[in-house]
Structure 1
Amino acid sequence: MSLEQLKLSKPLVSTMSALGHLSAKEMQLKTMSRILGGQDIIAIGPEGSGKTTTYVLATLMRLKTGGGDAPRALILVPSKEKVLEVLEYFNQLNKNSTFNIVGIHADQSIDEQVEELTDGVDIVVAIPSRARAIYLKLGLNTNKIQMMVVDDAADMVKQGLQLPINELANSIQKCQHLVFTEVMHDRLDKMIADFMFMPTTIEVEELSETKVETYPQLIYQVPNFRTKLNLLNLLLKDTEVFDKVVVFVNTRLTAQTLSKDLFDGKAEDIFVYKPLFFDEAGFESLEAFKINEKARVLIVANENYDEASLTNIPFIIHFELPEDKMLYINRVIKKDEVDLVALNFITDLELPQLRKIEQAIGHKLEEAELPEDLKIEDVGKATKQKTKRAKELERQQAEEEAFREAAFQQKKESNAKTTNYSSGEKAKMNKLRNH
């Protein structure tokens, strides 16, 4: 589809063409007109589907010109690397030199970043925690924001950034909200429910055109670690079916923990690959495990595992999906006619990794029904209350620290100000409005 269908300005179409983007991606075709129309959008798509380009183009189109005294667009991303990436996108696409775009991350002092913001800014690209800290120091004015973008939203939830995102969203009186993510799940839905107004959800799936031939794979989707443990205990009780199993986790510490938790640590046929402690029973190689008739389950940490042939292992279980998708893919690519099944236990937070795997192998993985007698662990009321209290305490401490630092920090003469230029109205510092 041509770029003209996106209803972009002629300079943006020309810039996109010069950069080699001669046609619009499905993500852009499905979302651009809605974004330009002012709708709240939840856009779901895999890596490489054009999410970043979409909101950069939309931001430039919505704001039209720069030269403002306070930000009109706030873009929240999960890391410094992503901040720099988004700034580079703006540099490539923004030929309107009047736009002032500022990146905010943790590797620069807050005072320097406040100075940048008070000099006048149109678009702010920031990690949520640092943006919130500057907001609490009265350095980030949210009164004129028209667009708030949350990118890589599922990663934000995984990092526990819900609190700063919600506080920033609630500080804005009224604006358009755009959420871009690789996956949608309950935890993410809870995070955005407070500030999204009747959003339109648009999903794009871009699987590889080349399907990779793999061994059979099944997904068990569960809510948390404890339920994963219950499921593994339940499956491994069937010693006839699961007579030789390799269980993959991400760290050696998790491997040790799992070996102690399975069957209350009383099973004599469960071992750890290269255990942490020299006096614990384990195996130094996969081949030694294969030929030992008394060994039924081997728990392997990805971080210290030298990839070896899984021949004669009928079941591999990914208790945790590896961060590197190629570790997983290399294990399940069909190399010969052997009986091997891969079972994968995943939570909401692992869905982005799963989507990357599916995108690479060119097909969706089949989801298995959970056993009827599986005990689903839930977060207890006490834990929920404790988490709520902890968040409230964290918020209060951050506010107190920010105001204390603002009141008592010794400033350089060049930085000592009696006005809050970020407000756009130069309100006296001792008479600032409450956010």
Structure 2
Amino acid sequence: MSLDKLKLSKPLVAAMTEAGFLTPKEIQLKTMSRILGGQDVIAVGPEGSGKTTTYVLATLMKLKYAFEEAPRALILVPDAEHVDHVLEQFKLLNRNNTFRILGIDSRGAVDTQMNEITDGCDIIVAVPDRARALYLKLALNTNKIQLFIVDNAELIVKKGLQLPVVELANSAYKAQHVVFTELIHEKLNLMISPFMKDSTTTIEVDEIGEKQAEVYQQMLYQVPNFRTKLNLLTLLMNDMEFFDKVVVFVNTRLTAQTVYKNFNHTNEEEFTIYRSLFFDDKGYDDIEDFKANPKSRVLIVANENLEDLDIQGIPFIIHLELPEQKETLIQRIVKQGDEEVVAITFSTDIELIEVKKIEQAIGQRMDVMELPEDLKIVDAASKPKKKKTEEDEDASERGAAFHEKKASNLKNYNYSAGTKAKMTYKNKKGLS
């Protein structure tokens, strides 16, 4: 398919061809006409799907060559590294330097950046917090912005930069708003909903890579926060007959201690920790000792400073946290011979981006499991409920206000995950 499908100008087609882009990407085919037509768009696609090139081309197409005193396009990205990447894309496609493009991040002095904006620019590529600082200093004029773009929106949310994005977007109220992201989740929706129009079009491109290797059965539980992860882990581990030998991976030794202490240790050998921080905790320095002890059922392992660990022969691998490097998880789930293993991953919204990268790398999706019906969903903002004392009762009788917190944050889900996992596993094992 030729680049003519994108309906670009001849200079842009020439620039694309010279840069080695000979055929359009799917995300470009699906979004370009809508962006050029002035629609608000949310474009969802994996890394490498062509999102950056899409909005660079759209920006160069939409802006007129005429000089303006204030910038006409503002592109927000998560960090300085992304600023450099976007500037490189513009340099590649902005032939003859038709537009004045400025990069803004924390590496430059605020006063210098104020002067650079005042000197005149057409397109600004910036990190949200620095752009907001310049806006508050009246250096960044958003009144002329025609195109407001948020790239890698999921990473911006992960970095906690939602407030400056919303403030800047609302200030550019005349602009067309376009959001590019690798995935959509609740926190991201909360960020973009204040400025995206009701008529916004969402376009999703789901490109999965080729299957690289055979992996164990993959299951994914999506939960709101770490405290709910602990509740879910405890609930699953209550099925002692099914989860008879389990390794639970977390990122740090301190987190491993937290998980270990969370269990109700009726049998001190049942829940153990690998190379514990504290000598009085029941644990192992050699995983082979854990494998050999039938009384030890769950071993909690920290990825921190962890060398290669032989987990063969253990039927359940649980990643309570996503490791910093996706390769760490992938090497654990690659199938070894005919061994049957169930690999379970717990993920919050923020961690879903890492899940997507893992899925891209292995070339297949994880099975998303339904949360157990009796799982307690913890509201991260809530505080532990205060128990009534006799003094509280007396105060209540005297008219003092005492209100029990509502359980409105608790949600009910269909408990089929454990059953599904067990049946699948038993079928593979040939058990009745």
TM range (shorter): 0.7 to 0.9
8 A contact 1:211–1:363 mirrored in 2 = no
Secondary structure of 1:124 counterpart: strand
How many Å apart are 1:152 and its aligned residue? Answer: 0.6
CA distance 1:260–1:94, change in 2 (3 Å): same
Secondary structure of 1:299 counterpart: strand
Structure 2: gaps spanning 5 or more residues: 385-432
Pair 1:174-2:164 in alignment: no
Pair 1:232-2:233 in alignment: yes
Q: Among all aligned residue pairs of Structure 1 and Structure 2, give the percentage whose two residues are the same amino acid.
A: 60
Cα distance in 1 for residues equivalent to 2:107 and 2:268: 49
Match in the other structure for 2:359: 358
CA distance 1:278–1:137, change in 2 (3 Å): farther
Q: Mapping of 1:186-197 within 5 angstroms?
A: 186-197=186-197
8 A contact 1:128–1:161 mirrored in 2 = yes
CA distance 1:381–1:225, change in 2 (3 Å): closer
CA distance 1:96–1:290, change in 2 (3 Å): same
Q: Mapping of 1:207-356 within 5 angstroms?
A: 207-210=208-211, 212-263=213-264, 267-356=268-357
How many Å apart are 1:244 and its aligned residue? Answer: 1.3
Cα distance in 1 for residues equivalent to 2:173 and 2:206: 34
Cα distance in 2 for residues equivalent to 1:65 and 1:282: 68
Match in the other structure for 2:44: 44
Which TM-score applies when normalising by structure 1?
A: 0.84
1 or 2 for the larger relative contact order (CA 8 Å, sep ≥6)? 1
AA at the equivalent of 2:104: I
Secondary structure of 1:64 counterpart: coil
How many Å apart are 1:4 and its aligned residue? Answer: 0.8
Cα distance in 1 for residues equivalent to 2:380 and 2:210: 41
Cα distance in 1 for residues equivalent to 2:314 and 2:253: 21
Pair 1:19-2:40 in alignment: no
Cα distance in 2 for residues equivalent to 1:139 and 1:278: 58
Cα distance in 2 for residues equivalent to 1:187 and 1:381: 17
Match in the other structure for 1:199: 200
AA at the equivalent of 1:351: L
8 A contact 2:77–2:150 mirrored in 1 = yes
Match in the other structure for 1:391: none
How many Å apart are 1:11 and its aligned residue? Answer: 0.9
Cα distance in 2 for residues equivalent to 1:319 and 1:289: 19
Secondary structure of 1:247 counterpart: strand
Match in the other structure for 1:386: none
Kindly tell me the number of residue pairs found equivalent between the two proteins: 383
Pair 1:64-2:64 in alignment: yes
Deviations 1:173-194 (A, max 9, x none): 3111110000001111111011
8 A contact 1:8–1:61 mirrored in 2 = yes
Q: CA RMSD in A?
A: 1.8
Q: Which moved more, 1:92-101 or 1:62-71?
A: 62-71
Structure number with higher helix proportion: 1
Structure 1: gaps spanning 5 or more residues: 384-435
CA distance 1:96–1:176, change in 2 (3 Å): farther
How many Å apart are 1:29 and its aligned residue? Answer: 0.5
Cα distance in 2 for residues equivalent to 1:264 and 1:334: 32
| Runs ≥4 residues deviating over 3 A | 264-268, 277-281, 379-383
AA at the equivalent of 1:12: L
Cα distance in 1 for residues equivalent to 2:268 and 2:128: 46
